[in-house]
A and B are shown apart, each in its own frame.
Chain A
């Protein structure tokens, strides 16, 4: 009963709307430039809500046999791709819920999807391969087999894609259809994030560390000492701060100047249980974080990467994703009990209560 335990948002988070998915709400994103919120649950339920009212616009059930694993919204916001345990990818019209394309890259689970910033290419990780499709769903290229299942993908340029797997990060040039660069390190890389300029590659590793590389200098470093696996990673828009999970504290590494090697990271401490989701706002140095216990906080970071909470809320169940509206005027949090909460976010100058 999530709403029994939940409490009202505080600080700069204000009552918005809430809704309920039929199963564990796994992934979400804002469609149509922030006019809708799209949510996928693990059973394969897909929901489109009006971003302001929370009214359900359309919904689909069991869109992937065995369960849904990923959802990616096209940069234009008019299309959404989903994938699942059935190994398929479906591209939907975000406005109507109609199926536009159906793609079957292979038999393996598809856990990662990513649209290029220009919206022309959809990258799909299926087993040890990454497949590239045009926005019409036509396969353009498929990478060679990676040494293990691909654990993360991310676009570094409109025609360059990065993939992570056990032991390495690989950059693929899609125009030349070849590998550009390989960054190797013996460890199971479980997540990856790139700085906005694409120079810094940071990966969460199974052995409770964050490994990162600077592509221009070829320097790499390892940040150890995490009590858990730092799967959650987020770069702010300026590329200065990398926020990481892996415990109940958020560790923030500062990449400006000499750092972060040898520097002390910022620490954001309020969550009672380990971090389960992190997201920087699109414009400001504001970070949203969700935790396994259901707490959600919004932080304003200072120049050292330390921060003060601007607001908080409690949804009572493990937060699977927090997601900022494109104009940062609202924050969505979805949880393991299917809870969907959207709060208005209003920044005020001066000290908050």
Chain B
């Protein structure tokens, strides 16, 4: 069997840096012969020979099925290119800024001749970090470009403050947990992070980013503080919420494993009812507290450190949102508010942002199912067939693998809207049997999908 030619789709709003990235790839990949199919005229010229300009022609079919919508120009151009296979070994398709990536991706599933010669390697979406927030509010295309992506490149990240970037990353991960998020300036990312990803293969995704199935937490932020013995104040300014949940963990170590261990502990504490405390009250450790923040101006809470130790605060919101500060009191303990201003806040020795479960503001979101055991092939077929037939319009991508009882290999699923393929992949060997499925879509009914999947388990 000869190798199919890999294709990478490059999407992103006008001005997000697609052409800069294209030129970078072309100038660095001397060994590869890359054919570029370009849909936007006029931006910046592309410095290479095999560039084909094609008008974006989106063809809907008479059956009205959106998953049958394909890009006619691509079928035509690729159909001709495949007769000249010796001339190139990679294809890059650049879409226009407002393009819906669906028809482009579907073209590689729908057209039998294209499917036979080409394989969709991945969808790379460039994001203008300074403007994406507004774009996501304004345009459906923009959120679809995020939803379809295998790689999200946060370009122009030098123009945006660190804390905004962290928030933006969290928003994007919320919409698409499957994609790898890469920061860049001037679209300067390594070529390996965009080409030859085999991104449509979930195993590869897990290898690259093993945490993408990471659970969601009821808190968004952890700050670990190194504190000597003494009295401390936690000061919060006005923020987005009238209250905020908080748990303090003494002797918090700053390594990832310890953070995760405490995070699990905090999840259990967060599940207990919160004790409301008002400004001026004390913060007790290892307890689910709800800081009452309704009053205007700065709010101060107190806590003690009995020895030289570290404390980790697991907060519902990031420190930035309330401008949370920790300062040490002098021995007298009595400060006028004017004098407080002069104290230097203590910087955390470690900060970590968690995937927060409360942050589902965007219609577009993703969900992952992970279950051990085997599934019944007939039940699964029936369920996924029905799910995609009914909800396929709103489900942008499906990816995953399944374990069937009488099959020694993983069954690898991948889909775009209603189209999906299921093919045997890697051998299970001695590995325990398990199933993973990821859906990215609009208004996903997570509970129902989980429940229905569980029905398919044997």
The interface of chain A, by Cβ under 8 A from chain B, is 23-24, 26, 42-43, 67, 69, 85, 107, 109, 111, 127-128, 148-149, 151, 166, 185-188, 190, 206-207, 228-229, 336
Contacts and interface: CB of A to CB of B under 8 A. Distances in A.
B254 interface: no
Interface in B53-97: 53, 55, 57, 59-63, 68, 70, 72-73, 75-76, 80, 83-84
Contacts of B84: 23-24, 42-43, 67
Given A149-B76, A188-B72, A206 B83 contact: no
A148 B76 CA distance: 12
B60 A149 contact: no
Highest count of chain A CB atoms <10 Å: which of B63, B73, B80 = B80
B62 A187 contact: yes
A127 B54 CA distance: 9
B80 A67 contact: yes
Given A187-B62, A206-B70, A206-B111, A148 B57 contact: yes
Given A42-B83, A166-B72, A206-B70, A228 B62 contact: no
A229 B61 CA distance: 13
15 contacts: A107-B53, A127-B55, A128-B55, A148-B72, A185-B62, A186-B60, A186-B61, A187-B62, A188-B59, A188-B72, A190-B75, A206-B61, A207-B62, A229-B111, A336-B83
Q: Does more than half of chain A's interface fall in helix, strand or loop, or is it mixed?
A: loop
Given A26-B83, A188-B70, A229-B112, A206 B59 contact: yes
Nearest to B85: A24
B363 interface: no
Given A24-B83, A188-B70, A336-B83, A206 B75 contact: yes
Nearest to B112: A228
Given A24-B84, A67-B84, A69-B80, A186 B62 contact: yes
Highest count of chain B CB atoms <10 Å: which of A42, A69, A336 = A42
Contacts of A24: 83-84
B57 A166 contact: yes
A166 B59 contact: yes
B229 interface: no
B55 A149 contact: yes
B76 A187 contact: no
B113 interface: yes
Nearest to A128: B55
Given A24-B83, A149-B73, A207-B61, 10 more contacts: A67-B84, A85-B80, A127-B55, A149-B72, A186-B60, A187-B59, A188-B70, A206-B75, A207-B68, A228-B112
B48 to A, nearest CB: 13
A166 B60 CA distance: 9
A207 B63 contact: yes
A190 B72 CA distance: 9
